[in-house]
Amino acid sequence: MARSRFYHILWFLHFMDNNRTVDIHDRLWKIRGLFEILRTNFAKFYNPSEHLVVDKVTVKFKGRVIFKQYIPKKSKHFGIKLYKLCDSNGYTYDMDVYLGKDRQRVTQHPTATHATVTNLTRRVEGVGHKLYMDNFFSSPDLYDDLIQKKIYCCGTVRLNRWRVPKDLKHKTLRLKRGDIQLRTRGELTAVVWRDKRDMGMLTNIHDPPSKGNFWDEHGNAIKPAIVADYNRHMGYVDKADRMANNYTASHRTWKWTKKLFFHLLDMTILNSYILLSTCGGKKISQRDFRLTLVREILARTGHEPRPSRAVGRPALASANISRLDTRHNKHWSGRNPTKRWCRVCSEWAVTRTVRSKCVKCDVALCVNRACFTDYHTKNIL
């Protein structure tokens, strides 16, 4: 009996998990169309600069979604991970959302990161761009593949990666501060530089540096040109993310589709601002650009502001024109089913209830007094 209950619970959990997976895929396909339109237009209307960067960005989200990532070393511990290709202006030229391990891509490429970089750089092949990346993506096989497409690369590398020279690993080398060791193979150069710790780099952009120990007059290790160039160009994705978050439209929500949509909206507005800035002319700030954009959107909707309503009681002459029209003599007295206050008596602060009224005006008036005549003949009661 207990075993049958256990199997029922397992079946229920499996059924709920399958339903949750189907629901997430349905939501993903709804936003996939918008995502692909943005990717196409980002690359269609912009020519990126010479230096490009591939890096990952986390969209902060703590709700429930299967492909949510936990990265403890980042300021945003939980969120949706995006891969971006940005240039020196902070323009997002291409992007991709990490949805988990893609088995089809892994079979076509040596690693998943190799497939990611190849997918992001497919629109810039054969031009001669210089691509920078960190040790999450770098590998000798990736650099050899991209240089055949005329994409030159530079970046940090993990020294335990496949096909990295074994004699450059931490246990093999005994470097002091300022020491440089390198290995070359064709146009590819592997460099290990010691500052506070060993730093491995791969490049096919720079010339191989000189070996030895390099210090400045203050006793600090001198940075090789490869390291200085990498530090100068590697922050383009962070620059784009920082500019987009300065005036973000995002708000707190438990639906991952809304969170991703608002991030795409911020990215689209930022790319539009960069497009305007690179076209020349008068430069404006991003804040003024966003305010102008909102005004233009409101103007294009065709919405006209409603005329302001008059405050207070209307003028007696304009409000009582119909009651003074006695040319056709259609103001006849009639009987009201219930008692109501006389309009003329109320104007004189006299409370008097009557059953008589004007049939045309539907106003309670005294007939045995002068109220009926005064209401239809005098402008001011």
Do both 44 and 179 map to the same domain? Answer: no
Sign of CA pseudo-dihedral 208, 162, 149, 278:
negative
Structure tokens at 343: 């309009």
pTM above 0.85, yes or no: no
Within a domain: 68: yes
Which SS3 state, helix, strand or coil, does residue 229 take? helix
Within a domain: 271: yes
Do both 227 and 242 map to the same domain? Answer: no
Do both 244 and 229 map to the same domain? Answer: no
Do both 94 and 168 map to the same domain? Answer: no
Which residue among 233, 260, 287 closes a domain? Answer: 233
Structure tokens at 55: 């890096």
Residues in the chain: 381
Domain extent at residue 94: 19-126+237-278
Within a domain: 247: yes
Do both 119 and 254 map to the same domain? Answer: yes
Do both 241 and 365 map to the same domain? Answer: no
Full pLDDT tens readout for the chain, 381 residues: 444 443 333 333 343 444 444 455 556 666 888 899 999 999 999 999 999 999 999 998 988 888 888 888 878 889 999 999 999 999 999 999 998 776 666 677 788 899 999 999 999 999 999 999 999 999 999 999 999 999 999 999 999 888 898 888 877 788 888 999 999 999 999 999 998 889 999 999 999 988 888 888 887 888 999 999 999 999 999 999 999 988 888 778 888 888 999 999 999 999 999 999 988 778 899 999 999 999 988 888 765 556 566 666 555 444 445 555 554 456 777 888 888 888 888 888 788 888 888 888 888 888 878 888 888 877 776
Do both 117 and 211 map to the same domain? Answer: no
Q: For residue 284, give the amino acid letter.
A: I
Do both 244 and 227 map to the same domain? Answer: no
Q: What pLDDT is stored for residue 353 in this prediction?
A: 87
Q: Which of 91-121 are b and which e, b meaning 16 or more Cβ less than 10 Å from the residue's Cβ?
A: bbbbbbbbeeeeeeeeeebebebbbbbbbbb
Do both 59 and 154 map to the same domain? Answer: no
Structure tokens at 253: 């929500």
Do both 166 and 24 map to the same domain? Answer: no
Within a domain: 274: yes
Within a domain: 249: yes
Q: Quote the distance between the C-alpha of residue 50 and its chain's center.
A: 25
How many structural domains is the chain composed of?
Answer: 3
Contact 200, 175 (CB under 8 A): no
Which residue among 233, 265, 288 closes a domain? Answer: 233
Structure tokens at 298: 């409101």
Residue-wise pLDDT for 306-319, tens only, equals 656 666 655 544 44
Do both 210 and 250 map to the same domain? Answer: no
Compute the distance between CA of residue 351 and CA of residue 360 in angstroms, rounded to an integer: 23
Within a domain: 251: yes
Do both 197 and 51 map to the same domain? Answer: no
Which residue among 278, 298, 331 closes a domain? Answer: 278
Within a domain: 120: yes
Within a domain: 170: yes
Starting at the edge strand found earlier in the chain, the sheet holding 363-364 runs: 333-341, 353-358, 363-364
Our CA angle for 138, 144, 149, nearest 5°, is: 110
